[in-house]
Amino acid sequence: MTRIGIIGLGYVGLAHAVAFALHGYEVVGVEINERRLMAIEQGRVNGLPQEVVRRALESRLRITNDYEKLRDVDLAFLAVGTPTNPDSSQDLSQIMSALDELARVWRSGEGNRVVVVKSTVLPGTTRRLSKWARELGLREVGFVHSPEFLVADRALEGVLRPSRVVVGGVDEKSTSIVAAFFREFYRRVGFMPPIHVVSAEEAELIKYASNIFLALKTVFGNLIGIVCEELENCDAWRVIEIVGLDPRIGKSHLMPGMPYGGPCLVKDVSAFGRFAQELANIDFFISIHRYNEWLRDRIISILRERLGKLREKHIAVLGMAYKPGVSEIKDSQGFILARELLKEGAEVWIHDVEADAVRDAFTFLDGVKEIKSLEEICSMDAAIVTLNYDVYRKISCTNEYPLIVDVVNVTSNASPKTINLYKSMKK
């Protein structure tokens, strides 16, 4: 029976670790962040049912910060972060140090071991990692890239019932080992997804192309929405809803609203954009990122048009996470809006339905203030609604309303001072 190591227990790594352990595999999960490790031990993990994590820990999942425990595993899944450097290049330092440690404990007796790269890496990276591993002394270890298509709040479901599994190998032997492992795993799950065997480069490109296309859909939907604003009798939510019914198009990610945000799309589009520019002189992909930033800047411009200078204005940002139902604020556009408004000297008040989102935003935003009750916004100069939560729909003020910039079509006609983006502005 294949013994499995997982390096990096973010939501991707942990969901895989739990899924494998619950289906009969011995799994060692390595996480060097002590706080994260402790949170998992105590069952405090977002996105995975606490009960399921507990069951995995009580059966075949061991978690540790000690790479030594990986000595006997057959497959090592790399699920560490690949953030984007300020210059949009990809920061591989977490992958490099994981391989370093792995080389130390694996150097003797390599056998049929394979490193499965789950982290999103730019095309060509997995092959380069395999060469680099050889220099570290791992002469026979295979390398495979198997991109993940998980949705943050349904990660376990994404591992157990993926619409497809992609295995991109540097060499045939390791590809077939990993494909065979996935077939065995899904037989145990009782659900067999299509397993596509491709080259490592193809697998890497598949992942980026998928994410970038979804980002592109969001930009497209928002820009159609802006055209709508300039027309009479136009509501882009209705337009896009009907456009999305075309099976060749599809509604997902197409709805107008906030510019795309969150921990995957922003970094992936910007990293791939720079990559494609340098590799093939194509500026299309980086331009998606630029349009997205313009969409966010436009929201601030609209505030400035109505309020004049934003310095010392009281502005509420309602919604810190990157989508409803999650607390993740990394690269969330609501969070970035709050940061930009602070830079302009505004007094910024934040709110989110998820307490963790507000708490995390606080640690990154100097001088921001928390909204305790939504009535407080009635006395402010403006409020931006970035997430479609019911509590924002119900906002009501007795006398004066603030300027409300509703980006997500939630407040409808709360007040004559409400600006509904993506709907006719000339009435």
Closest CB to a second copy among residues 216, 387: 216
The least distance separating a second copy from the CB of residue 292, rounded to whole angstroms, comes to 11
* β-pair partners for 350: 317, 370
Q: How would you classify the pairing of strands 75-78 and 4-7?
A: parallel
Closest CB to a second copy among residues 3, 290: 290
Of 315, 294, 292, the closest CA to residue 303 belongs to 315
Rounded to an integer, what distance in angstroms lies between the CA atom of residue 261 and that of residue 386?
11
The least distance separating a second copy from the CB of residue 70, rounded to whole angstroms, comes to 29
Residue 1 in contact with residue 71, Cβ under 8 Å? no
User: Which residues contribute to the site for a second copy (CB under 8 A)?
Assistant: 123-124, 127, 149, 163-164, 166, 194, 196, 198-202, 205-206, 209-210, 213-214, 216-217, 219-220, 223-224, 226-235, 238-240, 242-243, 245-250, 252-253, 276, 279-280, 282, 284-285, 287, 291
Q: DSSP letter for 84, please.
A: B
The least distance separating a second copy from the CB of residue 415, rounded to whole angstroms, comes to 24
Rounded to an integer, what distance in angstroms lies between the CA atom of residue 280 and that of residue 356?
42
The least distance separating a second copy from the CB of residue 216, rounded to whole angstroms, comes to 6
Single-letter amino acid code for the residue at 342: L
Residue 259 in contact with residue 298, Cβ under 8 Å? no
The least distance separating a second copy from the CB of residue 19, rounded to whole angstroms, comes to 20
* β-pair partners for 77: 6, 116
End-to-end CA distance of the chain: 68
The least distance separating a second copy from the CB of residue 353, rounded to whole angstroms, comes to 25
The least distance separating a second copy from the CB of residue 182, rounded to whole angstroms, comes to 15
Closest CB to a second copy among residues 200, 348: 200
* β-pair partners for 387: none
Of 266, 279, 302, the closest CA to residue 383 belongs to 302
Closest CB to a second copy among residues 47, 162: 162
The SS3 assignment for 382 reads: strand
Sign of the dihedral defined by the CA atoms of residues 281, 282, 283, 285, in that order: negative
Closest CB to a second copy among residues 38, 227: 227
Closest CB to a second copy among residues 101, 235: 235
Q: Is residue 211 within a helix (H) or strand (E), and if so which, with residue range?
A: helix 200-230
- Residue 190: CB atoms within 10 A of its CB come to 8
The least distance separating a second copy from the CB of residue 296, rounded to whole angstroms, comes to 15
The least distance separating a second copy from the CB of residue 145, rounded to whole angstroms, comes to 12
Closest CB to a second copy among residues 322, 335: 322
Closest CB to a second copy among residues 198, 307: 198
- Residue 204: CB atoms within 10 A of its CB come to 25
Of 378, 297, 373, the closest CA to residue 341 belongs to 297
Closest CB to a second copy among residues 220, 389: 220
